Structure 1
Amino acid sequence: MLDLDIFLFPFFQKTLFVGFLIGIVAPLIGVFIVLRRLSMIGDALSHVSIAGVALGFIIEVYPLALGIVFALIASFAIEKLRKAYPSYAELSIAIIMSGGIAFASVLFTSGKGFNINVQDYLFGSIVALNTADIWIVFAVTLIVITFVVISYKELFLVTLDEDAASVSGLSTRLYNILITTLTALVISVVIKIVGALLVSALITIPVACSLVVGKSFRHTMWMAIIFSEIAMMGGLIIAGIWNFAPGGTVVLLSIALLMLSFLFSRKKSL
């Protein structure tokens, strides 16, 4: 018999609310990341963000805030390196991710007693959210949605054809920086509930599902959000009832949806 009392607990209600917001904002920014062939940027920024979180515990500063700062700095560094290596854009991600992992490992070994708390950021936790975290996620969600709505046409052009966007007079450098910056914000606020080790999957897999069934750019974006919400809400509920790791449950459900998408697409084509 399932124990459904967890739905009555305020902490789980907060988790579902934050999960709903993340289910919108992660694929929304993920569409632009995937189509720009920068899918691994999530891993790079999440590892740098964890280094910031670890430093926050050491110097007793709000960890999530320092994680956001580190991720933002890393996002600017990635854009700088992308310009330095125009033919090897993925190299910038590899460099930043290596640096983030190295710095985090040094901080982990020097930390005294904070490593247990960092586990929540590495693997995610449905009980670790506090009021400040919720407000930050809400603020980032509003920022991303507002930016996408206002700059949809520009983002569409920069994402699909950066050269054409530049010729038309758009500041591609500015939009690239803004997209990467918003990605850093999203990743920083997502890691506490999904975990840094799996946050990249939450941004990319729903988009991968939508690319299988999407009929247009806009339709693909909406389908990515729908897939993300199903995986996020379903994964959190399953994790809460059976006491599974939330991040792993959400990602496994996302992969299951991806497999179903391929199956549905194959049957439709027959």
Structure 2
Amino acid sequence: MSRFQMTKRIVFLTLMSVSLILVACGGTKEETEEVEEPKEPEVVKIYIKENLEGAFGEIVQNFEKEHEDIDVEPIFLSNDEIVQGVKNDEKGSVVFTTEDAVKELIEDDLVGVKDTKFLMMDELVLFTKHEDPDVQRVRDMDQSTRVAILSPDNYEEGKLSKSIFVDDEFEKVEDENFVIGDSAEDVIQDVMNNNAQVGVLYQSTIYNNEELKTLVRAPRRVVEPFIYQLGLVSKSDITDTERTLYDYLLSTEVQEILKNHGYVV
């Protein structure tokens, strides 16, 4: 082989090598330019007692910030609606409501006892206006004191509120002195507008209202506090997503949020 031929062959092989390298590099570039489609976040459903909407708005927002791959679907219902909704739902979920509703789900084998935790409680309190109240202390109350409560016909809270005044610690309030409200806001406004001297609602409802002050909590021998319980619904195997939300709801971060909304944790 002549020197020229050898040189030509070397040049050819060099060009071939360069071509192969360019092809290889080009293929790599095309591969790296392929963008994977983002995965849809997994959705976890949680049934929550309707009066907890304020606290859970903040809780859900914080959870989704920490877990961008999970979307929470909160469903706010009454206890009866929660139980029925869980029974009708084909998929698993998380529940956060009062212990009597969770107990019913346990009895129906929809929630395992080991997958439940008591999380917090709420209590009925007697309250007045913060400024210039007609009643400064419980002993200032008598049979003429007007008391604002939720409708006993429409709300269990109203029935329990009325039952407080048969206890020896409180003067019995005559039926005509109960001022009946159709909502918690009605009860608060009746106190603020002097239609009633005292109101009765759950502590969490008035906790952050600076215009109101608590006189006393309802005696537990008469009215038991609302105990709230967390549970995992196991229609099939509990998913990692459901377990992640469940564990987060047990965290100190969530406990602080609940405290800030007036719940006892």
| TM-based fold match above 0.5 | no
TM-score, normalised on structure 1? 0.21
Which has the larger strand fraction? 2
Which is greater in Rg?
Answer: 2
Q: Which has the higher contact order (CA 8 A, sep 6+)?
A: 1
TM-score, normalised on structure 2? 0.21
Which has the larger helix fraction? 1
